[in-house]
A and B are shown apart, each in its own frame.
Chain A
Amino acid sequence: MTTAGLEEFEDELETCFGASCGFCERGCPVYQAMKVRTLSMKGRNRTMLGLLNNRFEITPSVIQAAFECTLCGNCDRWCSLKNTDHTRAFREYLLKHGVAPMKEHSSLLASMKNYGNPWFQPRSARAKWLRGLDIPKAATGKQNVLFFAGCTSAVTKPLMSSLVASAKLLRRAGVDFAVMGQDEPCCGSTLLRVGQTDAFRELEKENFEKFEVLGIDKIVTACPGCYTTLKKSAERLKSGIEIVHITQEIVHLIRSGDLKVRKSSERMTYHDPCHLGRLGGIFDEPREIVKATANFVEMPNHGLESRCCGAGAGLQAAFPQLSRELALRKMEEAKETGATTLVTCCPFCETQLGNLPGVKVVDLMELLLEATADD
């Protein structure tokens, strides 16, 4: 369903017009920052409906309505409709109706095509984080579990330490795993979010063919975007490969007490990355880890109600000012809890929030590894 064309949603758009409750507005970070109706889901649905009904042409506001959204899914929280799917289909519709990809998105796509990642880094850069770790490279029939690093963490120097921490913790959890190193493909999340659905479909098919050839039964990833994308791809392609997030894989170490963790008295809060929480349904495991290591405090908007950091779905690239505004709001919420550290586990959220003044931003896996350093 995630790749249905906009026309297929027309009935749902009519339903939104009929219901017109606007309950999506309250939790929408973009609407709350901008107060522009076409940027709320109700307004966006109505914009799509008007477009399909030929009430107006594709205008700058239509394009803005389609792309100025982080696809954080908060609107779906308060609605029975598949709003984020509508938005993805909206982007695809515009691209198929003559709208040129946004130049910032075009460069991401060019990089995907040439380098296999959205960040203009050579394929070899993907393997840099593995230096000194002695992790076997995946080979046909040699392993059951694959640790999937994800483009962003693998090619971004400050984020590599989180992958190292993940790998070390997986080992402690007794997981026998391999990695694909520089042959690891992109999960395609970026393609999907910016409306390149056909290209995404091709990529996901190729990816799962590779995984199948390697004889992978389970993919563990620490990247929330990769997690939801791979999980949905596996479902769509009816693949038997299990997709899990690293917190699910290692939380038993905390629960069983097998991992001795030093608990600090530092006040820390946890930011649910949209892809892991609201879209991935994983809320408890990361919290268990933070609670084991620090004095945990919740932000007012947490769990399903967590507000997006503003980095996702191409917003950071194409609308940096708005993206930063969303991040500032998130940081303000974190500060108000009295926490000195914000823990999260998404490379986008970490980069986005880590660049702001306020509280310190720490990766969940690094936090846990640090708390067990003397173990």
Chain B
Amino acid sequence: MNYISELRAALGDANVLTDPAELYVYGADWSPMTSSEIRPPDVVVQPKTTRGVQRTVKIAHAHEIPVVAGGGLTGMLGGALALFGGIFIDTTAMNSIIEVDPKNQTVRVQAGATLQEVNDAVNPYGLWLPHQPESKWVSTVGAAIACDNDSTFGVRYGKILNCLLSAEIVTGTGEVLELGHRKAHFTSSGYKLKDLLAGSEGTLGVVTEATLKLEPIPETRFVEMLVFRRMGSAVDYLSRLLKAGVCIEAAHINCKRRLKFYTHAYTAKHGREPEIPTWAEALLAVAFAGDKKISSMQRDYAIDIASEFEAEVVKEREIVESWWASKYTLDFEPFKQKWPDSQKTKKFGAADPGVPVGRLEEFYHKFIEVAEKHNLDIIGMNAYLEHPNSIGFSLSCAVFVDYRNADEVRRFRMFHDELSKLAVEFDGTMSTFMSDTHQKAPYLELEHGNSLKYMKEIKRLFDPKGIMNPGKKFVREEG
């Protein structure tokens, strides 16, 4: 019996897809690629339970077939694409909310639940999951863990790992493991294997369930935008706010080019670009949330001290609301500027490095230089604060990519690689929200040096046959 027949016997015919049209839709994610590059898996399975995932992996293990698990397929660098064919585990049918525990502010979910489905389930209890990428409507819990993607509210709550208390995985041998510390918020016991899952891209196993820490929904939120003469001033200002004891909920520094990515609807409506002072080089969008009295006091104080940094508050609320909608509420009118109004011919492509806080401006100039060198249309840079109560940021160095043009896609990939390598030279990191995928695999040693061999050993422990998402993080070894 071949492995597909075994999958049918184990999961039922309806849960094993082999029709080429059905497979085709799994052949691309959100990363810049031409449609001729769509590369479907050989078979797609849709298990409903951990047991179904386990059966799938055991069959794959016995036959040494690659296994890639995926959720909403909104990855920006091909992390969940089955480069070597094999089995794609579509986890989206595993979307049950297993337990909401309001007293302990936790939720246990199947990993195929979207981040929005989790919030739909816990919001009635006055709780929310603050890990909120823009793709939250389709990004699943398992994919968020595997990709370690970004969150609008990172500066207050961190990213998915800060919310993840425990996770169940199926390893590359089909063993089911629970990693983490149940409902305790942290632990000093053992090795923190759970933490290995964040950004692991399914190379160690498939996340099947997760226990997540929830937060109380704040009573109110104030969003402001300030303009600065330099990006560095915006960084200094944020550092000052933290020193002052201000609790920032979201902070994103946009270069002035990047703002235009959010004002397409504004421009269409008013027939002009929003009025931002010509001297402004950086725009900081910042949110404060909590009880109204406290949040408004914090907001007022933040505005008061802005003048010390020669910053001005953006008075036109429509610009601020437009930006916030594009990040959080996803209200369609302002949001559609991003998907797909502004992308009729070209799409958003980015590098995702992290650099030391004092070198933001220097890196920004490098980004412009590299994008121009590769003749790419620049969208701009956004520095998202992604670490709780610190000014550590993810950088989104974005360009438009004509995905109908193979040469431009190739130039985009060269741009991505060059900025990733440059970030290491800057004493930073190659990736802060897309993970490594196959794109960074050939040069991962630049960042990790000799520790890479330990990473490979860890992978071998979880996945001795190298079947779990092969080619991601590490170049696939032949044979």
**B21-62 vs A, Cβ < 8 Å mask (1 yes, 0 no):** 110111011100001101000000010000000000000000
Pairwise interchain contact A37-B341, C-beta atoms closer than 8 A: no
Pairwise interchain contact B19-A60, C-beta atoms closer than 8 A: yes
Pairwise interchain contact A21-B24, C-beta atoms closer than 8 A: no
Pairwise interchain contact B74-A15, C-beta atoms closer than 8 A: no
Pairwise interchain contact A15-B340, C-beta atoms closer than 8 A: yes
Most buried by B among A43, A50, A81: A50
Q: How long is the Cα–Cα vector from A364 to B336 in the complex, in angstroms?
A: 35
Closest Cβ–Cβ distance, residue B14 to chain A (whole Å): 10
Q: Of A22, A25, A56, A79, which contacts B24 at CB under 8 A?
A: A56
Q: Of A14, A21, A62, A80, which contacts B74 at CB under 8 A?
A: A21
Residues of A near B368 (CB, < 8 A) are none
Give the residue name and chain of the B residue nearest to A52 (CB): B35
Residues of A near B90 (CB, < 8 A) are 35, 37
Q: Of B26, B38, B73, which contacts A22 at CB under 8 A?
A: B73
Pairwise interchain contact B20-A59, C-beta atoms closer than 8 A: yes
Residues of B near A18 (CB, < 8 A) are 340, 343, 346-347, 403-404
Q: Of A21, A38, A79, which contacts B21 at CB under 8 A?
A: A38
Known: A15-B340, A18-B340, A19-B347. A65 touches B21 (CB 8 A): yes
Residues of B near A61 (CB, < 8 A) are 17, 19, 21-22
Q: How long is the Cα–Cα vector from A23 to B20 in the complex, in angstroms?
A: 24
**B interface, CB within 8 angstroms of A:** 17, 19-22, 24-26, 28-30, 35-36, 38, 46, 72-74, 90, 92-93, 95, 114, 116, 135, 137-138, 330, 332, 336, 339-341, 343-344, 346-347, 403-404
Pairwise interchain contact B25-A43, C-beta atoms closer than 8 A: yes
Give the residue name and chain of the B residue nearest to A34 (CB): B93
Give the residue name and chain of the A residue nearest to B31 (CB): A20
Residues of A near B346 (CB, < 8 A) are 18
Q: A18-B347, A80-B341 are in contact. List 16 more A-B contacts (CB 8 A).
A: A11-B344, A15-B340, A16-B340, A17-B38, A18-B404, A19-B343, A20-B29, A20-B30, A20-B73, A21-B339, A22-B138, A25-B137, A47-B21, A47-B25, A61-B19, A79-B340
Known: A15-B343, A80-B341. A53 touches B35 (CB 8 A): yes
Q: How long is the Cα–Cα vector from A43 to B340 in the complex, in angstroms?
A: 16
Pairwise interchain contact B404-A56, C-beta atoms closer than 8 A: no
Q: For chain A, what secondary structure do more than half of its interface residues adopt (helix, strand, loop), or is it mixed?
A: helix
Closest Cβ–Cβ distance, residue B276 to chain A (whole Å): 25
Pairwise interchain contact B21-A37, C-beta atoms closer than 8 A: no
Residues of A near B36 (CB, < 8 A) are 53
**A358-371 vs B, Cβ < 8 Å mask (1 yes, 0 no):** 00000000000000
Closest Cβ–Cβ distance, residue B133 to chain A (whole Å): 12
Give the residue name and chain of the A residue nearest to B14 (CB): A36
Within 8 A of B (CB), among A37-83: 37-38, 42-43, 46-47, 49-51, 53, 55-57, 59-62, 65, 77-81
Chain A interface residue bracket vs B: 35 or more
Pairwise interchain contact A17-B28, C-beta atoms closer than 8 A: yes
Query: Can you sample 25 A-B contacts with CB below 8 Å?
Result: A15-B343, A17-B38, A18-B347, A20-B73, A21-B339, A21-B340, A22-B135, A23-B138, A25-B72, A26-B114, A35-B92, A36-B22, A37-B22, A37-B90, A38-B21, A46-B24, A46-B28, A46-B38, A47-B24, A53-B35, A56-B21, A59-B20, A61-B21, A80-B340, A81-B340
Residues of A near B138 (CB, < 8 A) are 21-23, 25-26
Closest Cβ–Cβ distance, residue B144 to chain A (whole Å): 14
Pairwise interchain contact B19-A37, C-beta atoms closer than 8 A: no
Within 8 A of B (CB), among A138-171: none
Give the residue name and chain of the A residue nearest to B92 (CB): A35
Q: How long is the Cα–Cα vector from A55 to B19 in the complex, in angstroms?
A: 12
Residues of B near A57 (CB, < 8 A) are 20
Give the residue name and chain of the A residue nearest to B71 (CB): A22
Pairwise interchain contact B19-A59, C-beta atoms closer than 8 A: yes
Give the residue name and chain of the B residue nearest to A57 (CB): B20
State the 5 A-B residue pairs at the shortest beta-carbon distance, nearest first. Answer: A19-B340, A56-B20, A61-B19, A22-B138, A43-B25
Closest Cβ–Cβ distance, residue B433 to chain A (whole Å): 16
Closest Cβ–Cβ distance, residue B142 to chain A (whole Å): 15
Give the residue name and chain of the B residue nearest to A35 (CB): B93
Q: How long is the Cα–Cα vector from A22 to B341 in the complex, in angstroms?
A: 15
Pairwise interchain contact B21-A20, C-beta atoms closer than 8 A: no
Most buried by A among B21, B336, B403: B21
